[in-house]
Chains A and B, each alone.
Chain A
Amino acid sequence: MQDLRTWALLTTGLLTAFLLVAVPTSALAEGDGPPDTPCPNGQAWTLQPGGVWACAGSGNDGTKPGNTGGTGGGGATCPSAPDGKCTDDKGRPWLEAYGGPPCYGDSAGPVDAGYTYLGPNGSVTTTEPGYLYTCVAVFPWEFVIPEADAPVVDPVVLANQAVDRLPFAVPEINTAPAAGGRTWVGLETWLWLPDGQMDSLSLTVRAGATSVTVTASPTRVDWDLTEGSTACYSSGREWIRGMSGNEQTDCSYTFSTLSRNQPDGKYPVTATIAYAVTWTCTGACTSTSGDLPEVSSLSSSTAIAVEERQTVVRRHPKTR
């Protein structure tokens, strides 16, 4: 009997030990994900700055938008703006509480204290430094936002705006044999663009205290010759009349078929310049530099006929 009691006690002890090991002392999960226990009141686990979990909001995937501070961060939404976007697709910040209806503001840059501008009720002189804006779509007059209220603009939006304004070259196609003329099957046809068409382009765009400079650097020229295509990593080399047959180029194409079945009996030839784009931000920057996706210039076209060289064989009579 005593043995049975002992066995019962020991078994209970072992089972208890097993349960204590197998069942976590808390339902909070280890690892990178949120805890297992649900949040109360319809809230959801949200990651706070520093990586600490909190129950907040109305349910998301557990991350907060727009971290802007040390042990705290702020949301980057503007509830009164269209679609809640604090910056429009032109990089203009949503501006509120400056004395007029809210709008996306065009920035004219920083101004010092003592700057005079035309407000809704006449001229106004600033008493502190700020940033000059206009809301052209709403009203034509100007206003100055004090530095303490200066918006912080997403530099990527400004960078994209700058790219839209870059004066990309329209490729001027050159071939040898000459385009518009003809080339021959099996003959290396040189392809090139004039000097200067492969230069880098740069532009700076500013909104308030945020200034973004984009640089577009040409990386290659994509040639489409209808029969086939080739990518050249330079502008090519100009063929100059009188060059010897030993001269070489790093950009050429050799046709293998005649063009007589093409419209007008010619192959269309198109060239497009591809650019790699980077940006840097100065001033009030939410990030300091980055890359944008590759951009292509407009394409230009010409046409070239591809013919076959006729070989003439002359029979020489044997001399006796």
Chain B
Amino acid sequence: MNIRRPLALAAAGIAFTLAAAACNNSNGETPLPAPDTTTSAAPTEEATQEPTQDASPWTEEYTSAEIRMYERALQRFTRYEELAEPIWAEGKATDEAEKLFKDFFFGQASHRQFDQLREWEQIGFQISGTPRVHWSKPSLMGNSNLAIDQCIDSTPLQGSQNGEERPTAKKFLRPHLRTISMIKEEGQPWRIVTVSDGSAQGEEIRRCKI
């Protein structure tokens, strides 16, 4: 009996299996672009919302003093994110963590950060990495407060819970807006009041263009 046809079919089946395996990571999800690639994350799958903001030039709208204010506030937030990353990656509500939140957050917002970390410790949850920032610009400029819009994606974030990997919702892997509101009172450094990225209850995720 000629077995060439069955062998060909088997080979095709095996090849298809291997191809399918290559297209899925261990979670069964499509692999994400590596953080250092320059692949555009232009949203093609989601048809629910058009990006409402882009990185159009904004510096002409503000005075040089306002731009300096914005740059210092942004620097302060970026510094917080760098220092906080290992804390959220460890997921332990330590004294060091509490101090960091008090240094960088305004009033009770710092307590809520610490409460969040305590809850993560209780449920064994951690997140390592920080979001990839595509662009930043001010969205509100007051005398002692401002808001910063950033177009980010969560591809660098790695969540885990009690040793098991946790997935990121797909819509957060695509460019979306994060708004950071900050306050600077006299004699104090810039402090964070809120950070909104669309993940809180009742919040809508806002798309942005790269």
Given contacts A285-B145, A288-B140, contact A51 B116 (CB under 8 A): no
Main secondary structure of the interface of B (DSSP, over half): mixed
How many of chain B's residues have a CB under 8 angstroms from any CB in A? 82
Chain A: interface size category? 35 or more
User: A35: which B residues are within 8 A, CB to CB?
Assistant: 167
User: A284: which B residues are within 8 A, CB to CB?
Assistant: 106-107, 109, 145, 183, 193
Given contacts A54-B123, A73-B199, contact A67 B81 (CB under 8 A): no
Distance between Cα atoms of A18 and B20 in the complex (Å): 10
Question: What would 10 more interface pairs be, CB under 8 Å, given A72-B84, A152-B108, A282-B142?
Answer: A25-B27, A43-B123, A55-B161, A68-B113, A68-B193, A73-B200, A147-B106, A209-B107, A287-B194, A289-B140
Distance between Cα atoms of A32 and B168 in the complex (Å): 8
Q: Shortest CB–CB separation between residue B185 and chain A, in angstroms?
A: 7
Given contacts A285-B193, A285-B194, contact A74 B109 (CB under 8 A): yes
Enumerate 6 A-B pairs (CB-CB under 8 Å) in ascending A order.
A25-B21, A49-B197, A52-B127, A69-B109, A73-B112, A283-B145
Quick check: A51 and B10 within 8 Å, CB to CB?
Answer: no
Minimum CB distance partner of A19 in chain B: B17
Quick check: B200 and A70 within 8 Å, CB to CB?
Answer: no
User: A149: which B residues are within 8 A, CB to CB?
Assistant: 107-108, 111
Quick check: B112 and A50 within 8 Å, CB to CB?
Answer: no
Q: Shortest CB–CB separation between residue B204 and chain A, in angstroms?
A: 11
Main secondary structure of the interface of A (DSSP, over half): loop
Given contacts A7-B6, A287-B194, contact A74 B157 (CB under 8 A): no
**B201: Cβ under 8 A from any A Cβ:** yes
Quick check: A63 and B113 within 8 Å, CB to CB?
Answer: no
Distance between Cα atoms of A50 and B101 in the complex (Å): 18
User: A110: which B residues are within 8 A, CB to CB?
Assistant: 185
User: B144: which A residues are within 8 A, CB to CB?
Assistant: 282-283
